[in-house]
Structure 1
Amino acid sequence: MFTLLLFLTLNIFSQNTEIYIGIEKKQPIDTIIIKDITPKTTDTLTKETLNIMREVIRADLLFSRYFKVIEIEEDIKSKDNLELSRLGNFIFSMELSISSSSEISVIASLFKISEKRNIFKKIYSSDISALRKVSHTISDDIVENIKNVRGIATSRITFSNDSTGYKEIYLIDYDGENLRQLTNHRSISIVPKWSYDGTKIFYTSYRYGNPDLFIIDFTEGRIKVFSKIQGLNIAGGTSPDNKKLILTMSRGKDPSIYLIETESKEIQDLISNFGICSSPTFSPDAKEVAFISDRAGNPQLYIYNLETKKYRKLTNFYWADSPNWSNSGKWIVFSGRETKHEKLNIFITDPTTSQIFRLTRNEGDNEDPSFSPDSRFIAFVSTRNGKRDIFMMDIDGSAPHLLSSKIKGNSYTPMWSR
């Protein structure tokens, strides 16, 4: 982002770290038995629909790292409770019906073996075109009912991509499915950021010459200009109440950090006279802001407390960039170079202790990290396969994998929804 900021500005004006596995305490693994889900009807569409739902839910549960999943074909009604408890902790089952108008109705239930009762049973209805969304919703409900935390299966990732020859804004489900292009400005559209409530995406575009700030409003179903003040307008994210947007603006001088009211658009100068500042990200309670500044020479990561007005420097790198604060508040992930000749890598730091851990190494350039809603996974851009692809990994740097082979061209600045 800081590199990008320098590029945009030019266009306008023509500590030692280590690999660390086990950052987060591992959750106990529960076993979910997926009961043989055979429709009572012989209808092919119903069978295919159930198979798709079962596979999506199974993949979601395995991805969560919370569960082991087994599928049993035989009739489990004949098994006693002791025998079932040896197989797993929960039994998941579904019943599906499809109307003549392609509306689906799903009855999903989750049975806790040790308590001999359903811990949830719910009816889900939608058009068959939203089949995967319904499946993801069921997955999140399973996670919430067992682990008492919201799952991430319904989350989405927005990003910029140049596959059309222009940089446009895209959206994709967390599992790499349902890719869609959101803009068609035929220009440079970059740095998308979600509003806290997930109803809007802010992004910067050169559509009208200046790097203006736009909004994709999913509630209204339209795209509109939010800020066209001369100079840089780059969103950092909204406050939890969605009333304030933190952003980078230049306004005829060095880029600095500002707050803007999302309704009145009243602007407050938040961080200025601190060198070139960029990439602001709110803490979950909106009491602090992490950002990048070259005040010390090269770009470094800082935290600014909005109440005390005090700053803290967290890095002493050759280069630091693109911080993102986890929803848990425990971590800030960022990209950087410890020394001049290193490639960009992903790091994570505890904002309380300032302890830093390296998550990537010797795998091309790795940058633009973004936390998942549950703060347990990280999306980022990597050149390890040649072009700029979006990858995902666990919070400790393990299990890195390509988000989707369906994404062509180069991708930039992925941002995970909350």
Structure 2
Amino acid sequence: MKTKIWILTLLLVLATGESVRAAETLSVDIFGPGQSRVNILVLPARGAGGQPATNLARNFGEYVNGDLGFLPFLRVAYLSEVLGGDPSKGVKAEDIDFKPLQLSRIDLVMTISGAGQDIEARVYETFTRKLLVGKAYSQVDQSGVAHVADRFCAQLMRVLTGKSGFFDSTLAFSKKVGGGKELFTASALGRGLQQVTHDGGFNVSPSWSKDGGKLAYTNISDLGHRLGIWDRGSRVSRLRRFPGNIAISPTFTPDGQIAISLSLNGHPDIYLLDADFRPGKALAPSWAIGVSPSFDLSGRKMVFCSGRLGGPQIFLLNRDTGAVDRVTYDGTYNTRPSLSPDGRFVVFARMTGDGHRIFIRDLVANQERQISFGPGSDEDPSFDPDGYFVSFASSRGGGTKIYVTTRYGDPARLIPTGPGDAMAPAWGVATALN
């Protein structure tokens, strides 16, 4: 049973008179061309009334430090970098000597205090001494402290960047179970890992509905290919068969329909299913394969993989005009595209002489760059809900695991998914599992 955590959303105007004016102080443009890093220092946790910090408060600080390490626009500073050591006597602005922090080029400083099952956390901008984020949490226990740290970091990211999709999202992915594969879900930090399908066979290629309420996927077994739909409300999966021997790479459109590659005419084409799961006309039909559809938030743009010009390449369908444009020209094997929510960027896997690597193409600037660098092979890229982070599967550490980078190619971080291979990550909104 989940521990109920009461989050007292106090913006900590608490008895200090401190105002929250983040918009007028420090902000970070994570989508800008130059990625500057902001230095943040998390001060040691304190107890109430000069008492030693509780284990709960210390653990909260440890989780926050770990969470912040996933944000490449932040650099977590060490206390040893500050002249004279800890410049604080308490957790409020009047308790902090900001001058040593300013001289040490610390941009943000975070204080933590705890008493019993209560935790308070504040982040100040050191040059203005203004409170950017302040939260108080009560009835927290050890089983819920990681979740509280994640929520706090989501709020901090939202204040700094206007986005928090990384912390407010859920990953679905395929993992080996026995002789087959089943689908699992976890937070973007790897927390709350759980198996959600028990279909047997190989369950692959998950895709979230926009509201996070359903997962579409492919089940492959002795019965052939079937479309799977997992419903988070009932926590039940249903499988459907189609004519032909192929039913792969199902994807939800923003309006809740499903696009799927079916072999109704002897080769795979992408079809849009109606409410009764009946396929309509093929989208971007061709004599060659058409697989792996991915849509922008408008649902009017669709990228996909096709062999219509020889080897597999990435193409873009304008659903309003029916025009199909080629996206990739370099490489002879480009697969598994994912379109950013704004429709501007496509990430995909390309086979290189060193293995598969993840590339990104700017459809407006018509520029392309590599954003993963191995070792091993990097495949199955997927954009997060903000179009900033990119998850992918990689064999760089032995076996296959899930990693996350950004669309700028920042150093990849491992997402903990437990023992066994994990692959084919797909992002969805976190409320799906709340």
TM range (shorter): 0.7 to 0.9
Distance 2:378 2:261 in 1: 23
Q: Counterpart of 1:62 in structure 2: which amino acid? A: G
Indicate if the aligned counterparts of 1:64 and 1:151 stay in contact, CA closer than 8 A: no
1:124-159, CA deviations, whole angstroms, 9 ceiling, x for partnerless residues? 467633332221111010111122222513433221
Cα separation, 1, equivalents of 2:202 and 2:49? 52
Question: What secondary structure, in the 3-state scheme, does the structure 2 residue paired with 1:374 have?
Answer: coil
Partner of residue 111, structure 2: 93
Mark the runs of 5 or more structure 1 residues left unpaired by the alignment: 1-21, 99-103
Aligned to 1:229, the other structure's residue is in SS state: coil
2:35 to 27, 32, 35: 27
Please state whether the residue corresponding to 2:391 is helix, strand or coil. Answer: strand
Three-state SS of the structure 2 residue aligned to 1:384 is coil
Post-superposition offset of 1:290: 0.3
The 5-angstrom pairing of residues 34-49 of structure 1 reads: 34-40=42-48, 47-49=54-56
For residue 425 of structure 2, what is the aligned residue in structure 1?
414
CA contact 2:306–2:314 (8 Å) conserved in 1: yes
Match of 2:348 in 1: 334
Alignment of 1:5-154 (within 5 A): 25-40=33-48, 47-70=54-77, 72=86, 74-75=88-89, 77-86=94-103, 88-96=106-114, 105-124=118-137, 128=141, 129-154=143-168
Q: Which moved more, 1:365-374 or 1:79-88?
A: 79-88
| Change in CA separation of 1:117 and 1:342 when aligned onto 2, cut-off 3 Å | closer
Structure-1-length-normalised TM-score: 0.80
Q: Alignment partner for residue 394 of structure 2, among 372, 382, 388? A: 382
Q: 1:117 to 1:402 in 2, by over 3 A?
A: closer
Is the 2:346–2:361 Cα contact (8 Å) retained in structure 1? Answer: yes
* Alignment-mate amino acid for residue 395 of structure 2: T
Task: Tell me by how many angstroms 1:208 deviates.
Answer: 7.7
Letter in 2 for 1:50: A
Deviations 1:314-355 (A, max 9, x none): 2233211100112343321111236xx663222211123443
- Greater CA deviation, 374-383 or 182-191? 374-383
Counterpart secondary structure, 2:266: coil
The answer for the alignment partner of 1:325 in structure 2 is 339
Provide the C-alpha distance between the structure 2 equivalents of 1:222 and 1:381, rounded to a whole number of angstroms.
Answer: 26
User: Closer, same or farther in 2 for the Cα pair 1:396/1:167, shift >3 Å?
Assistant: same
The residue that corresponds to 2:293 in the other structure is: 280
Instruction: Report matched runs for 1:280-319 at 5 Å.
Output: 280-316=293-329, 317-319=331-333
Paired with 1:41 and 1:183, the residues of 2 have a C-alpha distance of 50
Match status 1:258 vs 2:271? yes
Q: Number of aligned pairs?
A: 385
